[in-house]
Chain A
């Protein structure tokens, strides 16, 4: 019997390194990531007649309602942009963040049955959520670009510019922010369910503190004393920069983007640490 300690493949111990993401493990399970994304996509429209068309219908109708209520009834200015375009830009970006957040925030509770039976790197689950929402987002971006084309042909005035290059970076920021916040919430809800109630209406309230249905310029003009609440919301500068890149109107500075980036990274790191800690034993308390 040779008991050479070095030959053991892995060791199961009470606690692990909080920063150890087990990326090697995650890489080994990359096929699972792809299959989970596929599952989300396919099961979304199974047994429906309109199928993937549903990806378009939701933002389209939301835009319609927003144009009616906020644009016409409340007459909130839209920085001089065509109202549907303005709202659709906001909704598309906001949806990506909010979908990532809401889905990740239930990752432990919703998958408890699966997590309780088999081991795989738990990080795969939130990652698959971010990626499958990315597909959804891409489809909705197509809708947005088609809308831009229609308005362009009609001669509406908007000016896409070099800030478009920030787009992938903005996307990454939204994904990380949704992922980080979602992981913190899902980790905390394994023991105390209170937070899950907060998510559903909190995300709605957060939307009104973000420049989805109004531009930042209006807040600055109308409520100069409270505009900081909206300005320091990390999502505001993402959406404003997004609109600026595609439509040429938006209020953001590179400093505000830098602050957003820093906040996002802090939240992501905190999320990963908490997630890693809870992942080990959550099945005992969930």
Chain B
């Protein structure tokens, strides 16, 4: 087997902040340094890209990445939001250039970063197939040869002579994916496209991806938060964290590495002096644990408990703690308060609050807790955003391993009767 992609010392720096009059002097300084053959003065501070920590203006979204991908491999790229996955894909698909390092590639790369870009709303479906195919690098004859196949795959043949602005969003995406999927490239990059379209179409896309990597021997890079899909579609996995490659192995090992890493993130324990714990003069948070009600990993059917221990310094008030849970789309799932004391009798000292989220409530995905400590359910004593995050793992329903849409995932009871 030969290498398809070889990444050497790949790094990418981004400049934070707004671009305005201030940046021009910096640009000139940079240019001056370049003329004299010196290093870029603003790239010296090698900061780690941790979005939660404030720091300088330059952030390294990718930091000295080295790996090789063999031809025919289906590689899942796993990591939290901000780990550098999208940046890596952008560099591989040649949309942006790296700051340092290089990537060597054998074969054509087609990226499905976001399908349907380049569609012109006024043009018909047919015209857009040709235009989009050409944007993706297909020759006209190639598109002509595959035209019927593309239309059949998309399932919009009836609308093929209608401007795409009249399409429903589902039809639009299907047509776009159909074009991209029929690209004859040696390497395919897929980034969460499967998050769109209905379940039936998603299944079709996954099937097509499976064909591509297993049947046709092409190389696939697949970025997704859907661990179930990565487990079935890929044979290798890369785990990125803060712009660095932290794990590389078979896909099952990579997924379990990532999940155990996730579980570690669901634990907060303050070590040392109480006065240095996160909080303020009213409240100091000492620990926060999130655990499944059963088993080792949190999934849709396990439910979970969360347990917070904090030091309270406000005596004689009505103390409450509110937990606000947000999903990865930043949609609040709930905002729920625990009344700790109700008759102005709070004491200085350590309180522990334990809450339970039952099974079959949360859908799969990444969640973060916001904490608000209040007095009389009105005055905030201390609040903190994104204090801790955890992931609910997806589960297959029947034969479908796809992530179901929706904020919640209830286990509804159905009664089925049959007549005649």
| Chain A residues near B (Cβ < 8 Å) | 1-3, 5, 7-16, 28-29, 31-32, 34-36, 38-39, 42-43, 46-47, 113-120, 191-192, 280-281, 283-285
Contact = CB atoms under 8 A, between A and B. Distances in A.
5 contacts: A10-B104, A12-B105, A13-B97, A35-B134, A117-B117
Contacts of A113: 117
A281 B96 contact: yes
Contacts of A43: 120, 122-123
B53 interface: no
B372 interface: no
Given A13-B97, A13-B98, A39-B131, A46 B163 contact: yes
Contacts of A280: 96-97
B240 interface: no
Contacts of B19: 191-192, 285
A162 B270 CA distance: 89
A8 B6 contact: yes
Given A29-B134, A118-B136, A11 B105 contact: yes
A115 B95 contact: yes
A5 B103 CA distance: 12
B95 A283 contact: yes
A209 B135 CA distance: 40
B122 A47 contact: yes
B113 A117 contact: yes
A39 B123 contact: yes
A191 B23 contact: yes
A224 B30 CA distance: 46
A38 B23 CA distance: 40
A118 B93 contact: yes
A13 B10 CA distance: 9
Contact of A39 (B24, B100, B120): B120
Contact of A118 (B3, B96, B106, B113): B113
Interface residues of B, number: 50
A171 B1 CA distance: 53
Contacts of A192: 19, 24
A133 to B, nearest CB: 18
A284 B96 contact: yes
Given A12-B105, A32-B135, A114-B135, A283 B2 contact: no
Interface string B96-123: 1111111111111101011001101011
Contact of B94 (A8, A31, A35, A119): A119
A12 B98 contact: yes
A36 B135 CA distance: 9
Contacts of B127: 38-39, 42
Interface string B166-185: 00000000000000000000
A13 B118 CA distance: 26
B105 A10 contact: yes
Nearest to B93: A119
Given A43-B120, A114-B118, A14 B99 contact: yes
A9 to B, nearest CB: 5
Contact of A9 (B1, B107, B130, B139): B107
Contacts of A13: 97-98, 102
Interface in B21-49: 23-24, 27
Contact of B100 (A14, A115, A284, A285): A14
Question: Which of A12, A15, A42, A285 counts the most B-chain CB atoms under 10 A from its CB?
Answer: A12
Contacts of A31: 134, 138-140
A114 B118 CA distance: 6
B64 to A, nearest CB: 14
Nearest to A279: B97
A8 B106 contact: yes
Nearest to B3: A3
Contacts of B97: 12-16, 280-281
Contacts of A9: 105-108
Given A11-B103, A12-B97, A35 B137 contact: no
B75 interface: no
Contacts of A38: 127
Given A1-B3, A8-B106, 20 more contacts: A9-B108, A10-B105, A11-B103, A12-B98, A12-B103, A14-B99, A14-B101, A14-B102, A31-B139, A39-B120, A42-B122, A43-B120, A46-B122, A114-B118, A116-B90, A118-B113, A191-B27, A192-B24, A283-B90, A283-B96
B8 to A, nearest CB: 10
Contacts of A15: 97
A144 to B, nearest CB: 29
B2 A2 contact: yes
Contacts of A115: 95
Nearest to B142: A31
A2 B6 CA distance: 13
Contacts of A284: 14-15, 96
B150 interface: no
A189 to B, nearest CB: 12
Nearest to A113: B117
Contacts of B93: 118-119
B293 interface: no
A8 B105 contact: yes
B230 interface: no
Interface in B45-102: 70, 90-102
A27 to B, nearest CB: 11
A119 B101 contact: no
A118 B105 contact: no
B6, B92, B135 interface centre (most CB from chain A within 10 Å): B135
Given A1-B2, A191-B23, A118 B122 contact: no
B330 to A, nearest CB: 22
Given A12-B97, A281-B96, A35 B113 contact: no
Contacts of B104: 5, 8, 10-12
A235 B70 CA distance: 55
B87 to A, nearest CB: 10
Contact of A11 (B24, B70, B102, B117): B102
A284 B118 CA distance: 19
